[in-house]
Amino acid sequence: MISPLVLYSVSDRIATISLNRPEKRNAFNPELVSALTEALLDASDDDEVKVIILKAIGNIFSAGADLDYLQQLQQNTHEENVNDSENLKNLFTTIYYLPKVVIAQVEGHAIAGGCGLATVCDIIFAVPEANFGYTEVKLGFVPAIVSCFLMRKTGETIAKKILLTGELFSAEEALAYNLITYVTNKEEISHKVRDFALRLCEETSGNSLMVTKQLIGQTTNPGLETALNLAVQINARVRESEDFKKGIAAFLSKEKIKW
């Protein structure tokens, strides 16, 4: 059953899945991660669906982790942090391994985990006003899971620039980094995304799309599972560090962090 945190509809063999927490800037919490994973699997199992569009309600695609969720992380046991990291890994791998093409429609900022969510999709359209960024290092955290996907898209030099500085960058820069596929103005993005999805539905074999996506994933990322399992452990361990606790405490109280 689809949660109200995620909207789901099907038309013309296209499933549209929308993050629906605009009041929280579509930030992640365990419930949203679970609901989004479930919606993607439902679309995968639906014989009436050939292509999936992933978008968000409101002006922000996703701001990453929810504030209440960040606060809760500080109380988690190591086991709870491992399980929580596994759930995030499961969301990203669901998209990456899904037998159907997933198109991201990014009409607002995509930050931290939200940036990872967008860029793990197969095809990514973004408006020029959208900013991207992995800001984890500024909070004493590590972008462990998303880095496993990012490295293959951008190469090591750009990945280090993005991940080590934690700086935001524009949609045009994201395009130059090979992080996204198209930059499209706000007035046209819905039409262009749908037109792209319809062309896939009408002009390509569903089986060929599935096998080609699998081929690309398996040949470019043969060590992905090993890397992700290590990333899950690193993710959980860093959450227990003093820097993470300091960074989150300062962030929640809106104080400047002195590193």
Catalytic residues: 136
Q: How many degrees, rounded to 5, is the angle at CA 161 between CA 160 and CA 165? A: 105
Secondary structure (3-state) at 118: helix
Distance CA 193, CA 251 (A): 36
Angle of CA points 10, 16, 20, to nearest 5°: 125
Phi then psi dihedrals of residue 27, to 5 deg: -75, 155
Secondary-structure percent of the chain, ordered helix, strand, coil, rounded to 5: 55, 15, 30
Looking at residue 139, the DSSP 8-state letter turns out to be G
- Angle among Cα 249, 255, 256 to the nearest 5 degrees reads 110
